Structure 1
Amino acid sequence: MTANSKMLALLITLGLGAAQASDDHGGPVHPKPYTPGVTLSKAVQASITPEQSIKILQAGNQRFAAGRSLKYDHKRHVRQTALGQFPFASVVACIDSRSAPEQVFDTGVGDIFTARVAGSTVNEDMVGSLEYAAKVGGSRAIVVLGHSNCGAIKGACDDVQMGNLTGLLAKLKPAVEATSTSGERNSKNYSFVNDVNEMNVKLTVEKIRATSPILKEMEAAGQIKIVGAVYDTATGKVHWQ
């Protein structure tokens, strides 16, 4: 089996490139250019630039924050993506119930890869997942999405010790240490917590680049963008770093 044949077999196994996604009549799902609310096809995914990927997410968040989210036909999208997926972006987010990326960015089934863990941090498994999403899955952007009033960030600020959470919060400590906001250095100081949150997003973006030569090279070549953002739980708006 040739290298190309092995890659094709891998794509089919992973549900990527198994077939061009099609509508109920067998035709292509998605006309060019990208249209919000319509299932993505391989051709449209390939036509989206990293910059356009970010703009699509920004437009989706504007709809969400304004209360104008699209009405998705999820059942139809499930049928259309059964044999293939062509997401245009990947999002690293917190497990917080208020900040689900699919809702915050007003996206549909098959639109984005999401990796979620308390504190929006990354480890080897998360970075490996992002490599897969970009190199194999065709994702055009990686967004590290923090959010206001994050319990994990507050826990790191307060040096909380609790089972396996202790090790997770330790990954957020570099952001606490790198933040020099005046006043109390704990969760009672809202400004401090907010600044630690912003710093954690920035450090996570840097960590992705530092631990993944694959993603760093793809970004340098203009194939993807890696950016940070913070979701405001009070307004529904995303602030981009």
Structure 2
Amino acid sequence: MKNIAVTKDVQTALTPNGVLQDLLEGNNRFVNGKLEGADNAALVNQTTGGQFPKAVVLSCIDSRVPVETVLDQAIGDIFVARVAGNFENVDILGSLEYSCKAAGSKLVLVLGHESCGAVKAACDGVELGNITAMLENIMPAVRKSADEVEGEANSSNSEFVAKTVANNVNLTINRIREKSQILKEMEDNGEIAIVGGVYSLHTGKVEML
């Protein structure tokens, strides 16, 4: 049972690759039904005065992908930024920069997921209120997939949707590097890694891209 929160000394000693492996091992526990227990009262008490998360995950808002659960992480372990379609914007970039530069996290994981509703909506060119502007962030991935996948370029084509989910993760990573000099320099210096994966709704497994 996890009852000791991540401390500054522990966080400092971590490596980006080590943190990634920790998250993937947690995902394996989730898939295999072997989640670690946690003494939440102890973790709450230990983190009241500060936090030293290992990683920050940029994920979709989808209720079927509860990030801490599917990666088997406890209170104080990870930052999670969520927006439909797991793309970056100024606010998300600032959150990622805070997580890594100010709070010491060693990994940025952009986590897409199978059959993403936001991606499907972008594939179909949905227009509705503020959703229209939001989906514009995913359109570069839609256009890229249209050049790579045969068949209809809409949500009725499951291969097209899956390719767009993956392209959206990879393009988001590219834009994070382009738009955040702070994160790019940290990655270039080996202080952090910026990686992407896709969560399977069917199996519960995270596949790295």
Aligned residue number for residue 82 of structure 1 = 48
Residue in 2 aligned with 1:196?
Answer: 164
C-alpha displacement of 1:37 = 5.9
**Superposed counterparts of 1:187-226, under 5 Å:** 187-226=155-194
Deviation of 1:101 (Å): 1.4
The separation in 2 between residues aligned to 1:54 and 1:141, in whole angstroms, is: 7
Aligned to 1:27: none
Aligned equivalents of 1:219, 1:104: Cα separation in 2: 25
Matched-pair contact (CA < 8 Å) for 2:153–2:160: yes
1:195 partner letter:
K
Matches within 5 A, 1:227-238: 227-238=195-206
Aligned match of 2:132: 166
Q: Hey, what does 1:11 align to over in structure 2?
A: none
Q: Is 2:7 aligned against 1:41?
A: yes
Q: Runs of 4 or more off by more than 4 Å in structure 1?
A: none
Distance 1:130 1:36 in 2: 26
Instruction: Measure the CA separation in 2 of the matches of 1:103 and 1:147.
Output: 15
2:15 is the alignment partner of 1:68: no
TM-score (norm 1): 0.84
- Aligned match for 1:142, one of 99, 108, 113: 108
Aligned residues: 207
The aligned amino acid for 2:120 is K
Of structures 1 and 2, the one scoring higher in RCO (CA 8 A, sep 6+) is: 2
TM-score (norm 2): 0.97
Give distance in 1, aligned partners of 2:2 and 2:44. 16
Q: Taking structure 1 as reference, are residues 222 and 188 closer, same or farther at Cα in structure 2, changes over 3 Å only?
A: same
1:4 aligns with: none
Q: Which residue of 2 is the match for residue 181 of structure 1?
A: 149
Q: Which segments of 5 or more consecutive residues in structure 2 lack a partner in the other structure?
A: none
Percent identical across equivalent pairs? Answer: 47
Q: Which residue is equivalent to 2:75?
A: 109
Give the superposition deviation at 1:38: 3.3
Unaligned runs of 5+ in 1: 1-34
Distance 1:233 1:95 in 2: 14
Q: Is the contact made by 1:205 and 1:228 (CA closer than 8 Å) also made in structure 2?
A: yes
Cα offset for 1:100? Answer: 1.7
Q: Residue 3 of structure 2 contacts residue 42 of structure 2 at CA under 8 Å; is this kept in 1?
A: no
Separation in structure 2 between the aligned mates of residue 89 and residue 218 of structure 1, nearest angstrom: 14
CA contact (8 A) 2:59 2:110 kept: yes
Whether the 8 Å CA contact 1:37–1:108 is kept in 2: the answer is: no
Please, which of 78, 89, 93 is the counterpart of residue 127 of structure 1?
Answer: 93
Task: Please tell me the root mean square deviation across aligned C-alpha atoms, in Å.
Answer: 1.1
Q: Secondary structure at the match of 2:186?
A: helix
Change (3 A) 1:232 1:197: same
Opposite residue 186 of structure 2, the aligned amino acid is M
2:4 & 2:121 partners in 1: Cα distance? 40
Give the equivalent residue in structure 2 for 1:52. 18
Tell me how far apart the structure 2 counterparts of residues 98 and 37 of structure 1 sit (CA, whole Å): 26
**Structure 1 counterpart of 2:109, which letter?**
V
Equivalent in the alignment of 1:5: none
